Amino acid sequence: MSERREGHVLLGINVLTLGYLPAAWQSNLLHTHAPTDPDYWRRIGALAERGTLDAIFLADGPILGNPSYDANNTRLDPTIIWSHVARATSQVGLIATASTTFNDPFELAERLLSFDVSTGGRAAWNLVTSRDTGSANNFGLDEVLGRGDRYERGSEFADLVIALWESARTGDDVVHHGRHFDLEGRLHVPPSEQGRPVIFQAGGSPQGRALAGRVGEGVFAAELTKEGALQHYREVKQNAVDFGRSPDAVKILPGLLLTLGSTEEEARRRVDEIHDLGPSAYSVLWLSQAIGHDVSTLELDEPFPAELLEAPLDVSTFRGSIGFRQSIFERIRQSKPTVREYLRETRYTGSGHGGFAGTPEQLADKIEDWFYSGAIDGFNLQPDRLIDQLEVIADELVPILRARGLYRHEYETDTLRGHLQASSPTPGFGRTPGLATAPEFA
């Protein structure tokens, strides 16, 4: 473990409706209509705030999920869902995903800032560019834009949204004539308690990491190994410095698929039980989608073919997450499992995101190691089944982290931007460019 650093770890919860496993719904703790029940969502928010978590995060996509491998197949607009949660909470941050490919920048800027004002400055926008053909079809398009065009549009979209949020503060009109958007006007929504919503970014491609370094204030990363996380952390922080920002201005929070039990054996048994309630082909379908290759065509008891692992990626045809694919292949190259071994082990160690199955004490060890090694600023935790695992996080994991000096005992701020600033030894937002003190970012 590296030398201790100042500040405290950040903790978020990725609310994949009922949990990240497709069979999470098969529990007597839930009722049939839980995904659309305001009481369910208010309970999730109250549990997160009981644990003084920094934020809860809700993914979105303008298409029904595939229940064969997608636990989040019921999708409601995040800003509507979080309005129920906001009523039951007062301090936890609320991160809503919205695509720059299928939204209008003026409407989205107005909606998100209105949401930020109504929640007392707790809102964040998770900026995504969308990559699936199904979503494009819902908007009358045969195919989604190519990756380069999507990120070019997304970058211009983000700049315009930020300018519109600034117009709410200054009262000045925005005059913008770009390749993708033409706009003259301003928002008539007032600035929020935190000024404007925080911006998160979830892309793992080079374009996504550059965008995160330029405008992101939080990054929802995909990391399977500490070595990969260290490299990504340094890259995005350096990107921020290259754009005249402090490395503290952008926080890195990898996703972590999570199962907690009183013993490691109990946790693994729980993983197996929930997995086995779901489709038998779950892991094969998900991995095939994640790496862009039909895994069912591979020999189960042979290692992954070198030609698959080393083949150059055709970004013009690949529709998956580049970040997921990179982290998966990196792990396979390190451990050299057979296909069967990898599919089995991903139950416990993660797929595109890292995974963990063990006790709260063991998870605290991992968080402490990665945090003090400089691989993360925190984790965005993704429980297998949210309704009971969130209680364990709030009531067992958090107290352990507090006892180790890794986590605060109560909220120190009332806004999400304040939570992010308070985790740093020196607040990053608003700091004069060029005052980065970490040697690797000098």
What digits encode the pLDDT tens for the residues 165-223? Answer: 999 999 999 999 999 999 999 999 999 999 999 999 986 778 888 888 999 999 999 88
Strand partners of residue 58: 96
CATH number for the domain harbouring residue 380: 3.20.20.30
In a domain, 341, yes or no: no
- Residue 65 has what pLDDT? 62
In a domain, 339, yes or no: no
pTM summary value: 0.86
> Quick one: pLDDT band at residue 302, thresholds 50, 70, 90?
very high
Question: Exposed/middle/buried for 182, CB within 10 Å: 0-12, 13-18, 19+?
Answer: exposed
74, 141, 282, 283, 352 from 286: Cα distances, Å: 17, 25, 6, 5, 9
26 contacts 388 by C-beta, under 8 angstroms: no
In a domain, 284, yes or no: no
In a domain, 333, yes or no: no
- Note the Cα 301 to chain centre separation in Å: 33
- Residue 153 has what pLDDT? 94
Strand partners of residue 356: 258
Tokens matching residue 347: 């139950």
Q: pLDDT averaged over the chain?
A: 88
As a whole number of angstroms, the distance between CA 188 and CA 142 comes to 36
Report the percent of the chain where pLDDT is more than 90: 62
CA geometry: angle at 433 spanning 427 and 436, to 5°? 65
Q: Report pLDDT digits (tens) over 225-270.
A: 899 899 999 999 999 999 999 999 999 999 999 999 999 999 999 9
Paired sense of beta strands 251-260 and 378-383, if any = parallel
> Quick one: pLDDT band at residue 40, thresholds 50, 70, 90?
very high
Strand partners of residue 183: 176
Strand partners of residue 199: 125
Q: Which domain holds residue 199?
A: 10-271+351-441
Q: Report pLDDT digits (tens) over 146-165.
A: 878 888 999 999 999 999 99
- Residue 142 has what pLDDT? 80
In a domain, 314, yes or no: no
- The number of domains in the chain is 1
User: Among candidates 57, 74, 58, 62, which has minimal Cα distance to 101?
Assistant: 62
| pLDDT for residue 90 is more than 60 | yes
In a domain, 141, yes or no: yes
